[in-house]
A and B are shown apart, each in its own frame.
Chain A
């Protein structure tokens, strides 16, 4: 887990890149908790989203879960190969298993998110 990652309480991670955009995925903890992934729906490129808004769904055998935009901005790219290779999420959740790239309206919004240690504390406080 890289130190530059920030996390939302809803288990998404976000990592700013050099060009002012950011990559978003879901945490290893969330992938492990879901298990048996069967379907994923990603948002449309170009969609404008608000922090906390559902931007897609991920379905396991047992249930459907939403995933949420950690910051407000525009979806500029999606990992279009991922829905056909959901096992990538389990193998490399912080790399090849990325979901979308967002151009944040306000990069400072990321400062308010959890760092890795704070996210880990959130995870540990949840029943597993």
Chain B
């Protein structure tokens, strides 16, 4: 069973349309259809659509669901308004320090059930889905919360880029189109897209404006094809996970297993915003790992996550050592993700380095296959989308 790769409801479409299929976290996923660079630039300039059905989708419902999740996640879940989405960490109190980061996730409060029961959803990484489900299941109360893994019953499609919202809303009834156009970032609502029910959120992993849609597995192909048909003439393209990775790298977004690890200090990574150590009234919150996180927050982090822009074309990859040019051999940090970045037209990376060297413009060396390659420290994100588009 462990060797059986999972397929998304769009797997046959990807194979029929030139997708190069790779094993990603146990799933058969398209890494690209033609060119990663072209898919990346299409997303920046028009729109890209991504099958992200491998992401884990969990639903949490029941009268106690808000307080239960509030006691487990690093964000204040109980204050979420209907339609609100937040980035959170999933932590446990296991491990030598009493803090293990199990995953990063999006937690959303969906519309209440007709009887007023709250409903929440979590989107977790494919690689961590089973671990997170096991952790949460072990902490379920005797009654009042129902946790279910919806991943295989649903599909998730990200539509990202300056034209993304217009393309998707063009497939919605007029009243819902207006509501979706008006959604703020990290807000969500349900709607009919191409005639099919969808949970639509103004979120993404590319640094562009855009939407992420969760639909029933049986509706995935119809919605996917409708979006493509509506956007293709304006430059929308299907995109694989290769360009998703270069887009999120430019956008400075962390990836679990690269920037974020089980023993990371979230404050050093610039993820302190995702750790709510107090309730809104200032009283301390309690969740697994809260005490070690309080201690981490209180002491200055010795390291920091930064961008690096290489001066040559050669890319620094994850694991490459960063050294100080003045002191050859002195390790001052490490690369967590790196690639040629199409929008920057340069090789760039994210790295975790000593705090003292994090000033913009500092020149450091990255060891790429034993060669010291100079790179400049750059603030994150490496790419920021224009504030307004006309």
Contacts and interface: CB of A to CB of B under 8 A. Distances in A.
Interface of A: 35-36, 38-39, 41, 57, 59-62, 64, 128
Contacts of A60: 36
A42 to B, nearest CB: 13
Nearest to A63: B317
Given A61-B339, A61-B340, A36 B313 contact: no
Given A36-B35, A36-B36, A57 B369 contact: yes
A59 B32 contact: no
27 contacts: A35-B32, A35-B34, A35-B35, A36-B36, A36-B37, A36-B340, A38-B313, A38-B315, A38-B340, A38-B347, A39-B312, A39-B313, A39-B314, A39-B340, A39-B347, A41-B314, A57-B369, A59-B315, A59-B340, A61-B36, A61-B37, A61-B246, A61-B339, A61-B340, A64-B315, A64-B317, A64-B369
B242 interface: yes
B31 interface: yes
Contacts of B20: 128
A124 B246 CA distance: 30
A62 B36 contact: yes
A84 to B, nearest CB: 9
Nearest to A33: B20
Nearest to B345: A38
B205 to A, nearest CB: 17
Contacts of B342: 61
Nearest to B38: A36
- The winner among B35, B312, B314, B342 for most chain A CB atoms within 10 A is B314
Contacts of B369: 57, 64
Contacts, number: 41
Interface in B17-35: 20, 31-32, 34-35
Chain B interface bracket (under 10, 10 to 19, 20 to 34, 35 or more): 10 to 19
Interface of B: 20, 31-32, 34-37, 242, 246, 312-315, 317, 339-340, 342, 347, 369
Given A38-B340, A38-B347, A59 B36 contact: no
A39 B342 CA distance: 13
Contacts of A41: 314
Given A36-B35, A39-B315, A62 B347 contact: no
Contacts of A36: 35-37, 340
Contact of A62 (B31, B34, B312, B314): B31
- The winner among A39, A59, A62, A64 for most chain B CB atoms within 10 A is A62
Nearest to A57: B369
A35 B317 contact: no
Nearest to B368: A64
Contacts of A128: 20
Contacts of B36: 35-36, 60-62
Nearest to A62: B242
A62 B312 CA distance: 17
A41 B370 CA distance: 14
Contact of B314 (A35, A59, A61): A59
Contacts of A61: 36-37, 242, 246, 339-340, 342
A41 B369 CA distance: 12
- The winner among A38, A61, A64 for most chain B CB atoms within 10 A is A61
Contacts of B246: 61
Contacts of A39: 312-315, 340, 347
Contacts of B35: 35-36
A59 B242 CA distance: 14
A41 B347 CA distance: 15
Nearest to B341: A61
A57 B317 CA distance: 14
Nearest to A61: B36
Contacts of A35: 32, 34-36
A57 B313 CA distance: 13
Nearest to B241: A62
A2 B278 CA distance: 72
B25 to A, nearest CB: 16
A23 to B, nearest CB: 25
A65 to B, nearest CB: 12
A35 to B, nearest CB: 6
Contacts of B347: 38-39
A67 to B, nearest CB: 14
Task: Please give me the 5 A-B residue pairs with the lowest Cβ-Cβ distance, nearest first.
Answer: A38-B340, A39-B313, A61-B36, A39-B314, A36-B36
